[in-house]
């Protein structure tokens, strides 16, 4: 048994020791593949002792960056010519349409024939194919995608060649394209829903201006706010790829709808938010936006009365739930009145039904109304 070791000592810290073991009793003559793999291993071991490997700027992501045992291996000399290609490496490049031997040829020149047919080329590809940078790039041809990753080999600070690992990722790329197409389709749906809701709101505004009944105008005005609150959520979802939305942005926009109540009357209404909603699942955003718009609208329309006042919204998010308090300094409420109006019925249906949460109304001792909401997230 032959042992080789490499250690690197630092007086200020622990000592690192790496060992490589070779079975000298094995009588079988090593073949070309084994000799090249052992040679690459020796060079990487030497680079570790010199502190030049691994290079932490190289990709190590679990999807395509991290090396695998079945990756194809190509050994390049200092000029970028292929001195050795493993069977998996030859197989990977043959699927791209490169036929025949590639040993003794420049890998960059061999790949150029494929690159010319591509509409877009990875800017890092030349550096990867010549082994000059520890990066990763993709080659595409004949509906096949190959991921190539270079590991420059260094000795005493000078580059002596490179190892190039290759792996077919055609199926992975296809799945990524499907996800992008799906995301784009979902965004387009949200965009069209938003436009349709805005059209509905515009039609209701036209109808509201033409009606002479005060009761009908108030009902249409409330419906416009509810539809507009839903449109705001779809607008936010149409602008991003995530399944979550920044609800603080949604709520801030929906509060502008409530602010219109103040401009339509001589009352002064002050809205203040103390806290953050944070990121919420898109499935929660729409019913919560409508419910909160309704709660704040009720506070502004009925809770504050004719003299106006202030409304404080306090959101708090934990790992498992979102709590919201809406408090005004208005005239308060009669207990028998809670639950009779359409707005309150909508709020309870959304909070308790769709969001599986809880909602309560309180009358603080110093006056006004407080609404407490808790929702599991």
pLDDT (average), residues 349-368: 89
What is the number of residues in the chain? Answer: 377
More confident: 263 or 40: 40
Task: Compute CA 174 distance to the chain's CA centroid, rounded to the nearest angstrom.
Answer: 19
H-state helical runs in the chain: 32-50, 87-95, 107-115, 125-129, 170-210, 214-238, 247-263, 282-298, 342-348
CA distance 17 to 5: 7
DSSP characters over 9-29: --TTSPPEEEEEEE-TT--SP
Query: Which pLDDT score is estimated for 323?
Result: 96
Please name the helix (run of DSSP H) or strand (run of DSSP E) that holds residue 325, with its range, or none.
Answer: strand 321-328
d(CA 167, CA 147): 5
HSE, side-chain direction, 13 A CA sphere, residue 328: 27
Asked whether the beta carbons of 300 and 263 are under 8 A apart, the reply is no
Rank 24-33, 221-230, 274-283, 292-301 by mean pLDDT and report only the highest.
274-283
Tell me: pLDDT of 244 over 70: yes
Q: What share of the chain in percent tops pLDDT 70?
A: 85
Q: What is the pLDDT of residue 63?
A: 47
Sign (positive/negative) of CA torsion 157, 162, 163, 165? positive
Using the structure block, give the residue that is written with the tokens 């201006």.
209
> Residue 104 has what pLDDT?
93
The three-class DSSP label of residue 260 is helix
**Could you tell me the pLDDT band of residue 6, with boundaries at 50, 70 and 90?**
low
- What is the rounded CA–CA span in Å between residue 141 and residue 57? 28
Min mean pLDDT across 66-70, 145-149, 210-214 is at: 66-70
Q: What is the pLDDT of residue 228?
A: 84
Of 127-131, 194-198, 210-214, which has the strongest mean pLDDT?
Answer: 127-131
Q: What is the mean pLDDT of residues 248-273?
A: 75
Count Cβ neighbours within 10 Å for each residue of 319-337 and write b for 16 or more, e otherwise: eeebbbbbbbbbeebeeee
Closest C-alpha to 322, from 282, 267, 361, 372: 372
Averaged pLDDT for residues 224-229: 84
The Cα 20–Cα 1 span in angstroms is 10
Q: Is residue 36 very low, low, confident or very high in pLDDT (cuts 50, 70, 90)?
A: very high
Q: With 80 as the cut, is the pLDDT of residue 121 above it?
A: no
For residue 358, what pLDDT band results from cuts at 50, 70 and 90?
very high
pLDDT in tens, 336-356: 666 667 788 889 999 999 899
76-90, 215-229, 293-307, 362-376: range with lowest mean pLDDT: 293-307
Supply the pLDDT for residue 152.
95
Averaged pLDDT, 100-114: 87
pLDDT at 266: 63
Q: In the prediction, which pLDDT does 76 show?
A: 97
Geometric angle at alpha carbon 48, from 43 and 50, rounded to 5°: 95
What is the DSSP annotation of 157-189? Answer: TEEEEEEEEEEE-HHHHHHHHHHHHHHHHHHHH
Residue 366 — very low, low, confident or very high, per pLDDT cuts 50/70/90?
confident
Q: What angle do CA 332, 221, 309 make, to 5 degrees?
A: 30
Residues 127-155 have pLDDT tens digits of 999 999 999 888 888 788 899 999 999 99
pTM for the whole thing? Answer: 0.55
Residue 61 binned pLDDT confidence (cut-offs 50, 70, 90):
low
Per-residue CA distances from 2 to 24, 45, 128, 205, 304 (Å)? 7, 16, 35, 88, 88
What average pLDDT does this structure show over 236-247? 78
Out of 11-20, 47-56, 63-72, 165-174, give the one with best mean pLDDT: 165-174
Higher pLDDT, 102 or 113: 102
Crossing angle for the helix pair 214-238 and 170-210, nearest 10 degrees? 160
> Distance (Å, rounded) from C-alpha 361 to C-alpha 303?
12
Q: CB pairs under 8 A, 24+ apart, for 168-172? A: 168/92, 168/95, 168/144, 169/64, 169/138, 169/145, 170/143, 170/144, 170/145, 172/63, 172/64, 172/145
Distance between alpha carbon 314 and the CA centroid of its chain, in Å? 28
pLDDT winner (highest mean) among 174-178, 217-221, 286-290:
286-290
**β pairing state of 269-273 and 309-317:** parallel
The strand pairing partners of 323, in sequence order, are: 316, 374
Coil/strand/helix, residue 265 = coil
Q: Mean pLDDT across the chain, nearest whole number? A: 83
Mean pLDDT value across residues 240-252: 82
């Amino acid at each position: 048994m032959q042992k080789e070791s490499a250690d690197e000592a630092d007086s200020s810290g622990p000592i690192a020791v790496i060992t490589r073991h070779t079975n000298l009793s094995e009588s079988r003559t090593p073949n070309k593949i084994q000799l090249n793999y052992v040679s690459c291993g020796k060079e990487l071991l030497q680079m570790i002792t010199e502190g030049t490997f691994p290079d932490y700027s190289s990709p190590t992501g679990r999807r395509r960056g991290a090396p695998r045992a079945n990756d194809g291996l190509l050994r390049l000399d200092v000029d970028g010519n292929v001195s050795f290609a493993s069977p998996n490496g030859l197989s990977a490049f043959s699927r791209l349409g490169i036929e025949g031997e590639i040993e003794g040829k420049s890998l960059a020149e061999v790949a150029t024939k494929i690159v010319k047919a591509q509409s877009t080329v990875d800017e890092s590809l030349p550096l990867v194919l010549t082994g000059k940078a520890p990066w990763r790039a993709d080659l595409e041809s004949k509906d096949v995608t190959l991921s190539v990753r270079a590991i420059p080999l260094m000795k005493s600070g000078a580059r002596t060649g490179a190892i190039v690992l290759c792996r077919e990722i055609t199926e992975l790329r296809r799945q990524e394209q499907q996800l992008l197409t799906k995301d784009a389709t979902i965004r387009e749906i949200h965009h069209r829903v938003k436009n349709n809701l805005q059209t509905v709101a515009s039609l209701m505004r036209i109808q509201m201006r033409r009606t002479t009944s005060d009761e009908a105008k108030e009902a249409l005005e409330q419906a416009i706010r509810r539809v507009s609150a839903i449109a705001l959520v779809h607008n936010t979802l149409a602008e991003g790829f995530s399944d979550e939305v920044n609800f603080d942005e949604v709520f801030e926009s929906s509060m502008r709808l409530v602010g219109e109540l103040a401009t339509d009357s001589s009352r002064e209404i002050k809205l203040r938010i103390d806290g953050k909603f944070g990121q919420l699942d898109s499935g929660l955003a729409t019913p919560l936006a409508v419910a909160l718009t309704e709660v704040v609208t009720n506070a502004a329309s009925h809770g504050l009365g004719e003299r106006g006042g202030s409304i404080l919204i306090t959101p708090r998010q934990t790992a498992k739930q979102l709590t919201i308090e809406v408090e005004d300094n208005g005239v308060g409420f009669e207990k028998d009145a809670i639950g009779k109006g359409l707005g309150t019925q909508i709020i309870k249906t959304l909070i308790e039904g769709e969001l599986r949460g809880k909602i309560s109304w309180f009358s603080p001792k110093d006056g006004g109304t407080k609404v407490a909401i808790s929702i599991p997230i």
